[in-house]
Structure 1
């Protein structure tokens, strides 16, 4: 049929075209309901409307800038609901959530990963982990030079492992006294030819600490000590764990 510019009507003379009703959850009324819910909470006013997200057939989330002291970049999220075929809007949830520019707390880091070199102080205790790869009880895996094992390791339950020595050498090589430091790169001579360079020997009671959390890379006297000793005992538990009571367990009764 050719379009002659007229609007088709049904038998009763009513237009056959109808405007599709807008979803109630996206209406101005829905925005007003969400804003009023925030203001009624009285925990900070709702700022400008930032949009609607998580739009579904029966729910939608309205976002507002948060005018809350101490929470820059945060926003209010209000979840609205409306049943199918209804125009009655209800508030399901309301929350203050961080936006893209919000200042948030850093990710939680386990305690054992927070310790950094230099944190150990006088009187502090830092037990080595039971499964510390830097230590070993196997003489064949020890980093001590073979000819000195008998004299230096007889009174040590655990010894520095090859892994521990490798890690220490890597730190020292790349540290402030390593060959790539600014001082070394501009020096004309290396320490090995210097009279002040004292190669370590087992005949003197000094040694180099290889614990990165203690006197790492520093000459220490054999009689020096700190709380990060390899044999520092593990801390005592704060309490004992009680056995949970089994409610379903059969209890024999003598009659």
Structure 2
């Protein structure tokens, strides 16, 4: 037999424990909203802090790269052409670039020869008058970097006329400035002309060189000998012979204002 359901029972039996869903009051909703806003503020604050830290680290990294990278380049860079640099403290740095033939010297023999040459000079001229900084061999050439205590020391060692100091000191040393000079403005060199040296150069600094080299001075160049010179920048002059004869040399005056 089929059991009949009690009259009025349309949906089957209902659980006695079933209750209506709990209704959320206004206070509870406001509390949830407040908590959600607080979490959002904390997330935003953490993001801002993280961004500030990243920006600070990036700025520090850039500073370190510029500082130490620049120092590394400055200390490790080598001239491509023989260069005399007059420093602010009166020293002379000579970077010599010349052809190297291993049939004349081996690399070891050349290093030993250079070291002995400097040692012998220092013993007679004065301790540490010359310091050997670097010897590098590259593609059939040798690069030698040496530092001299002053221009007089360099002249004594190289036998080339060399001076760096005041105009008045140069005149006292016997330099006559009987040259055609060009006014220098940046890298531009004006047409050469005769100058009244005493009135024009008084109070200026002067570098005097008699070699086919680049010359770097510790200041801004204002005048330069017109013959055999090219202004490379406001503190560098290239000296070379128009006919390419490196055995010939001209006495070159470089007038500048000290930094």
Verify same fold: TM over 0.5: no
Please say which structure displays the higher CA radius of gyration. 2
Higher relative contact order (CA 8 A, sep 6+): 2
Structure with more of its chain in strand, by fraction: 2
Query: Going by fraction, where is helix more abundant, 1 or 2?
Result: 2
Please give the range of the TM-score, normalised by the shorter of the 2 chains: under 0.3
